[in-house]
Amino acid sequence: MSDMHFNEETAQALDAEDRLAGFRSQFFIPGGNTPQYYFCGNSLGLQPKTARAAIDQELEDWATFGVEGHFHAKHPWMPYHSELRELLANCVGAKPVEVVAMNSLTVNLHLLMVSFYRPTPKRNAIIIEQGAFPSDRYAVESQIRFHGYRPEDCLIEVEADPSTGIVSMSALQEALKQHGQRTALLLWPGVQYRTGQAFDLQAVTELGQRHGCRVGFDLAHAAGNLPLQLHDSNADFAAWCSYKYLNAGPGAIAGAFVHERHSTAELPRFNGWWGNRQDIRFQMKPNFESTPGADGWQLSNPPIFAMAPLRASLEIFETAGMAALREKSVRLTAFLETGIAQELSNVLRSVTPVASEQRGCQLSLQVLAGRSQGRSLFDFLSANKVIADWREPDVIRLSPTPLYNRFTDCYHAVRLIKQWAQQHG
């Protein structure tokens, strides 16, 4: 892409030959008559037009069937979560038995840590990346305290490059060499939320497991963004939310993965009736025999109205295919990056790695003139319908997503930033 001309004609030509371009019309683009240039799929994905019908169907079936909707609804509520299983598994490269749609992300991290963070006096540390998402940090700190240990002793943060926030694999390697012996859990991002850096899940898992650690991933910014091979990664567990790239709506039902090798293991865990074996669940007896696989981590019967838009969204991913989406995504982000390099090299720098294997669709940009100018640019973009987001202390995230963004969106964003730079030059 580096030798391409970044201009409007090129953008239009790329849109014209884009075989996924039709998916854009399956989403509501906010902004009314002058649609927004929406680059915020990393924070809240746009609404699939099929979401409303999916929710309406459940409201209608509730009205029509009452309690019998559990069996007679178009999508019976009893096995509702299992109808999502295959779609979810395809989306993250897992076996169906390894995934479940349930709860929200931080809740799932906690439930999975109950099983996979089992500190002992000799092995009680958790390794995370420096600058981890606050919720993950609060979750691991509180887990450490819950077990009677102290975060000051047990929380290890792998050092990031101070100016970019990028965490090298050699830094992780070093941390494991130094602390691996006393580490119970390595909890790692698939894509780091602030920098957009993507990690090789298999390589990270191998490193952690070589030191005897359990390895889990937070895939909040990876699910629906990168084609994942969760099963092959050999990770112990993973969790993700579904409202970012997965477009399932604000606070959508999250996902969880537990590797097949744990599917019948008697791991310590918090139980609820929906994790009980299906054939005995309704016998209402005191005995609990966990249903095999990730399903066994479920507690409650699922919130159907919240699951419906996830179904609608996953069906779109199934139709488009993660491989095709990724192929476009790589080109879309490279196009945006080319524009920044050609037109804005004296205005912005990207902290996101340049190699496509080390990033998803997001570019994290810093304004060279500093934080307050960064804020000014961000406000200017928002006022002009380019929807990015701001992450403290100084990063503007722009995430062109292959389902609903166009190459001309990227062109427009660069042109607008240039306009701002001319006014502030």
Ligand X SMILES: *Cc1c(COP(=O)(O)O)cnc(C)c1O
Residue 346 CB, nearest approach to ligand X (Å):
31
Nearest CA-CA partner of 294 in 264, 272, 273, 320:
264
Minimum separation from the CB atom of position 244 to ligand X (A): 6
Return the DSSP state at 155.
E
Token pair belonging to 152: 């000051």
Q: Report helix, strand or coil for 131.
A: coil
How many other C-beta atoms can be found within 10 angstroms of the C-beta atom of residue 312?
Answer: 23
Q: For 37, phi and psi rounded to 5 degrees? A: -95, 100
What's the min distance (Å) between Cβ of 308 and ligand X? 18
Q: Residue 365: name the closest of 394, 331, 387 by CA.
A: 394
Least Å from the CB of residue 250 to ligand X: 10
DSSP label at residue 235:
-
- 212: phi > 0 → left, psi -120 to 50 → alpha, else beta; which? left
Where does this chain touch ligand X (CB under 6 A) — which range of 23-31, 123-131, 177-185, 216-224? 216-224
* Residue list 2-41, contact with ligand X (CB under 6 A): none
Shortest CB 105 distance to ligand X, Å:
4
Query: Which of the residues 237 through 266 are near ligand X (CB under 6 A)?
Result: 241
Give the total of residues touching ligand X (CB under 6 A): 12
CA-wise closest residue to 156 among 177, 178, 180, 125: 125
Cβ proximity to ligand X: between 57 and 104 the closer is 104
- Residue list 42-101, contact with ligand X (CB under 6 A): none
Q: Please say which residue, 98 or 389, places its beta carbon nearer to ligand X.
A: 389
Helices (H) and strands (E) in the chain, counts: 16, 13
- 187-206 residues near ligand X, rule: CB under 6 A: 189, 193
Q: Which of 7, 36, 90, 104 binds ligand X (CB under 6 A)?
A: 104
Choice from 39, 77, 117, 133 touching ligand X (CB under 6 A):
133
What is the spatial distance between Cα 351 and Cα 417, in angstroms, rounded to a whole number? 17
218 near ligand X, judged by CB under 6 A? yes
Among 81, 182, 221, 406, binds ligand X (CB under 6 A): 221
Which residues form the interface with ligand X (CB under 6 A)? Answer: 104-106, 133, 135-136, 189, 193, 218, 220-221, 241
